[in-house]
Structure 1
């Protein structure tokens, strides 16, 4: 998987002055476009489209300073239909317009070329199992919150406090599938996993109930395969590290790709919430590789 991802990165470099299609990058990486975008965002810390844009503007910046082409020629060479559009994008990245940069020989920002490699840290291994599930539903209450990579998400904490014990108990009573009890389910609005990216958060249970109270939100899910990961340690650091390692270590090393669906987290905290056992369910499909 890592070798194919690097081949896709090579393709980007070879076509910075031309058209770069995510579908072609996914073909080179031998995966789906959806999985490629999610994987890249998790590994690189930015969306694939943003990386391509920044690489183009980095190379374009070098050509602006070199002065061998007109600014319009540089703009067209890197996919901009007008000098004005190029100037806006150039200023957004470099903090200065291309004309002024050429006149003054300004210092510009640079997006380094990315490549991926496996880094072995310590001797620990990830604990996981593969589960085949029939169709079920996530049932509870939902809200839209920003993604937070480290520490408690204040928007989620405030949302949960506002639910009230009666609502939480009614939700908990509907739990009849594994993972049992109240859990968190998150649905990304796009492939990006950047800090602050919006996602839909469910404070919910997994249920097969045919009748659900009208005031609760329901997310029906089809039958499919799930990868289930476990962790135990300091809360919330251990589970956030597990979430990170799933995307940066497990997926690149195993013949699975993420499929569309929520990421479901079951957490069993200690009485003082300083420690927790956690179980993370990720929807996956086998790649055959």
Structure 2
């Protein structure tokens, strides 16, 4: 996966140097990710997820910053703004100016007068360091088609600490509803589940996702009409077990799947929800043993 990500970086730089980018809202500057991922033997979904997890920023954001870093050199050099805008895929100098300000915090005109300030985005280079001092408790399991049923809400994505929007959603449910849901659980992953689905492809913090508080049932089960349903096809899942302070241990394990496990194993993510099952927990929920279920396929 590290080699594939570096190939992507090289192609971004090549495209920027040619200056034939477009203002494609999904991915600037117009890289054909579908063709690229087919050539290097992975999927766009997996590539985007691994990039954002390892770099700490969405792929689209990185490309936007690199575009404006390269464009800044042309602004400082005094080239005509409309020409720069067209080169970098914008239909007008005004549109380019807005994009420029969003990255550098100032206008092209001000940069021309004073030479700055400029916020440069260096070219990323991925490297894999394997310490070999610890192992991840992981198993691969084949799951038949099943459904996740429960109470769903749209909440913002938050990487660190407890998500207050999720806490509010769960707290809004009466105690007897948790008991009812748990009684409906009939297959793995067992018990009450924390499900995140319909996540932004780049996993940008602050974007909305679907959070479902519920349980797993067979695909032929009849869900109560007051519950939301996420139907899943049969497939392979990687299950990562984490124990320790909650939610810190779970979040550390989640990050390590991208930085350690996926680069070292012949699996890649496939589209689908991520599921957290609580195997054990302390009374105050300060510590817990969790299972993180992630949909995977052979790379």
Could you state the TM-score of these two structures normalised by the residue count of structure 1?
0.94
Alignment pair present for 1:285 and 2:287 = no
CA separation of 1:28/1:111 partners in 2, compared to 1, >3 Å: closer, same or farther? Answer: farther
Q: Which residue of 2 aligns with 1:218?
A: 229
Shift of 1:111: 1.1
2:20 to 2, 18, 21: 18
Shift of 1:103: 2.1
Q: How does 1:1-289 map to 2 (within 5 A)?
A: 1-16=1-16, 17-19=19-21, 20-67=31-78, 69-121=79-131, 123-208=133-218, 210-267=221-278, 268-287=280-299
Asked if 1 retains the 8 angstrom alpha-carbon contact of 2:106 and 2:117, the reply is no
Aligned residue pairs total 286
**C-alpha distance in 2 between matches for 1:56 and 1:253:** 31
Q: Tell me the alpha carbon deviations over residues 112-143 of structure 1, each in whole angstroms, 9 at most, x when there is no partner.
A: 11111113357111111111111001011111
**C-alpha distance in 2 between matches for 1:174 and 1:134:** 18
Q: Tell me the alpha carbon deviations over residues 29-70 of structure 1, each in whole angstroms, 9 at most, x when there is no partner.
A: 421111111221212222211211110100100121122x22
Query: Runs of 5+ in structure 1 lacking a partner?
Result: none
Q: Tell me the alpha carbon deviations over residues 205-250 of structure 1, each in whole angstroms, 9 at most, x when there is no partner.
A: 1111622211011111000000111111111110110011112221
**C-alpha distance in 2 between matches for 1:4 and 1:225:** 23
Shift of 1:265: 0.3
**C-alpha distance in 2 between matches for 1:249 and 1:61:** 36
Asked if 2 retains the 8 angstrom alpha-carbon contact of 1:11 and 1:25, the reply is no
Q: Per the alignment, in what secondary structure is the counterpart of residue 246 of structure 1? A: helix
**C-alpha distance in 1 between matches for 2:109 and 2:161:** 43
Query: Runs of 5+ in structure 2 lacking a partner?
Result: 22-30
Shift of 1:193: 2.1
Shift of 1:272: 2.5
Asked if 1 retains the 8 angstrom alpha-carbon contact of 2:60 and 2:202, the reply is no
**C-alpha distance in 1 between matches for 2:124 and 2:198:** 24
Asked if 2 retains the 8 angstrom alpha-carbon contact of 1:71 and 1:99, the reply is no
**C-alpha distance in 2 between matches for 1:141 and 1:283:** 21
